[in-house]
Amino acid sequence: MRALYPGSFDPLTNGHMDLIERAVSLFGEVVVAVLSNPSKRPAFSVEERIEQIRTATRHLSGVEVISFDGLTVNCAVTHRADLILRGLRAMSDFEYELQIAHTNRSLAEDLETVFMATTARHSFLSSSVVKEVARFGGSIDHMVPPEVAKDLNRLFNSAFPSS
């Protein structure tokens, strides 16, 4: 099976990595699809995010990293995905994700959405929280892969570099 895991990944967190690693073992192939959204101002370019994900997942076979814009269902069809993978951190994520899943299903009837809960130790993580902690010099080593921590510290010129 081939799963499409779409998101902005700005930046990639250990919660994202948890889902990618588990999805590869469950589905065999995971296409990590980095959204290019012109209405947002990301911390990292699409190219930088793709490189961060490729570096962080180099130990895994079955992971492909691409960029996309437009509808997720179109990306899934283009990349021959059998399902769309969405992560849940807390109950508050579910209502939004369910609405998106129903919308996607209305656009592509044969495309399933599978929800996976991240492990409890990563349930507090969001890209926004990670950027905020990094911006103010807090330790992010337990929140993101090492390569991403370096990039964030460089981006924010942190006075408190990651160890």
- Catalytic residue from among 22, 54, 79, 89: 89
The sign of the CA dihedral 94, 100, 104, 105 is positive
| 59 part of the active site | no
Please name the residue that has the structure tokens 């021959």: 80
- How far is the C-alpha of 128 from the C-alpha of 132, rounded, in Å? 6
| 127 part of the active site | yes
| 16 part of the active site | yes
Q: What value, to the nearest 5°, has the Cα angle with vertex 84 and ends 100 and 33?
A: 100
- Catalytic residue from among 122, 127, 131, 158: 127
- Taking the CA atoms of residue 86, residue 125, residue 135 and residue 36 in that order, the dihedral angle to the nearest 10 degrees is 0
| 45 part of the active site | no
Active site residues: 16, 40, 89, 127
